[in-house]
């Protein structure tokens, strides 16, 4: 592989991505300017009815010019205006091409969830650095965790309100089949998924994995103990900050792969240990330290391997969301030089593990800079930008 030639191609792709993001920003800026100008113009119309009709046509006119529906225009304008007003630093990063519209839209949706102005500022201070170096799916999970930790009480209230809406619906469709849709708390859904994932396959069974899961699901609902499902205990990993566990602060329990959060007290409630066991990984709220025990051998004992899997959640290669439970446990610094302990172990998808072993695994950032392999960042970063930086960003977004 010609490293120099391919490096040039990657730099070109990075430049094209930034140009695309800037073009998306330019479109939205133009849409906002047109909308704002029309609002000013129609403000002088005396008849309320005529003024309402004129303003209702704004989204239609923009849509005709852009090839978008009125609904798409309305949603984009609302998200862009929210980002411009509540996240000025993110808005500037979007206009520079540091983050594209897909990521900016996710951030704008999160700004709508956050209720306190200081939470808006904290998100605006920290999110760009993460969004610029991670995929949309990773950013979406990061934002969920951010909301659950920064506004823990509000998030818990919304979760309780949503839990009151739990329901199961059965919809019969064609060919003698039906859909069973359940709206249940995330930690219970995760336990169900883990139970189905552990369903053993009898010898000679030619069912697909999906068929096996479906049959096990029916067995769980319609029978107590069956040869298909057994009564194997289900393990679920969640991370809870130490100050949350002792009740000093409200906060969430975050799943091992970071895709869902629930109020911490939900998983601290009594659960049948014969069915589901939640591994509650205690982490320092400042340093995020989880593991400190060191082992002499090359292979980690099961308890450490399980803890690493729950800690990392997913493969630590950037953009890879392969669950850590399906990954290799790799020494970041090769054994025996590198010790078998938490700080030197991480989950890597087999393909990325092979790439690392052949010294071809590199993290290529959106800026085009290539860095050595380091763990993907999970969780909410600490620290804020200065008030001066925030005020300057708000001033620059006024144009």
Q: Are residues 284 and 300 in the same domain?
A: no
* Other residues' Cβ atoms within 10 Å of the Cβ of residue 6: 10
More confident site: 293 or 3 = 3
Backbone angles phi, psi at 179, to 5 degrees: -100, 135
Q: Are residues 316 and 273 in the same domain?
A: no
Mean pLDDT, the chain, rounded, equals: 80
Domain count for the chain, please give it.
3
Q: Are residues 202 and 230 in the same domain?
A: yes
Domain-located, residue 210 = yes
User: What is the per-residue pLDDT for 373?
Assistant: 56
Of 258, 289, 320, which residue constitutes the final position of a domain?
A: 289
* Other residues' Cβ atoms within 10 Å of the Cβ of residue 33: 11
3-state secondary structure of 126: helix
Residues 182-233: pLDDT tens digits? 999 998 898 888 888 888 888 888 899 899 999 989 888 876 544 444 444 5
Percentage of the chain modeled with pLDDT above 70: 74
| Beta carbons within 8 Å of 55's beta carbon, 6+ residues apart | 38, 39, 42
Q: Are residues 57 and 108 in the same domain?
A: yes
Is the four-CA dihedral 34, 35, 40, 45 of positive or negative sign? positive
Residues 58-98: pLDDT tens digits? 999 999 999 989 999 999 999 999 999 999 999 999 999 99
Domain of 96?
13-152
């Amino acid at each position: 592989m010609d490293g120099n030639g391919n490096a040039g191609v990657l730099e070109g792709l990075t430049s094209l991505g930034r140009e695309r993001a800037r073009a998306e920003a330019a479109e939205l800026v133009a849409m906002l300017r047109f909308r704002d100008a029309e609002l000013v113009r129609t403000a002088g119309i005396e008849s309320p009815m005529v003024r309402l009709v004129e303003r209702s046509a704004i989204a239609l006119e923009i849509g005709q010019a852009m090839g978008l529906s009125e609904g798409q225009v309305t949603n984009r304008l609302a998200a862009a205006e929210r980002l411009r007003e509540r996240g000025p630093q993110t808005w500037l990063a979007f206009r520079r091409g540091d983050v594209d519209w897909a990521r900016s839209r996710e951030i704008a949706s999160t700004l709508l969830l956050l209720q306190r102005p200081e939470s808006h500022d904290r998100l605006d201070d920290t999110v760009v650095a993460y969004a610029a170096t991670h995929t949309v799916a990773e950013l979406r999970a990061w934002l969920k965790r951010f909301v659950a930790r920064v506004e823990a009480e509000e998030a818990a209230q919304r979760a309780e309100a949503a839990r009151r809406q739990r329901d199961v619906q059965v919809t019969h469709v064609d060919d003698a089949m039906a859909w069973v849709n359940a709206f249940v708390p995330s930690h219970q859904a995760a336990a169900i998924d883990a139970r189905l994932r552990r369903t053993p396959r009898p010898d000679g069974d030619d069912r697909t994995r999906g068929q096996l899961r479906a049959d096990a699901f029916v067995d769980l609902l319609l029978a107590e103990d069956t040869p298909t499902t057994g009564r194997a205990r289900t393990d679920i990993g969640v991370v809870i900050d130490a100050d949350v566990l002792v009740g000093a602060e409200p906060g969430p329990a975050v799943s091992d792969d970071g895709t869902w959060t629930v109020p911490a007290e939900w998983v601290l409630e009594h659960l049948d240990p014969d069915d589901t066991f939640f591994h509650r990984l205690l982490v320092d709220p400042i340093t995020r330290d989880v593991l400190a025990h060191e082992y002499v051998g090359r292979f980690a004992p099961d308890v450490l391997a399980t803890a690493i899997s729950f800690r990392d959640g997913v493969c630590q290669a950037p953009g890879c969301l392969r669950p850590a439970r399906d990954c290799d446990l790799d020494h970041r610094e090769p054994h025996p030089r590198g010790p078998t302990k938490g700080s030197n172990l991480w989950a890597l998808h087999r393909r990325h593990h092979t790439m690392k072993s052949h010294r071809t695994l590199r993290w290529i950032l959106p800026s085009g800079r290539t860095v050595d392999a380091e763990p993907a960042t999970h969780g909410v970063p600490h620290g804020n930008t200065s008030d001066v930086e925030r005020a300057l960003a708000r001033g620059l977004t006024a144009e």
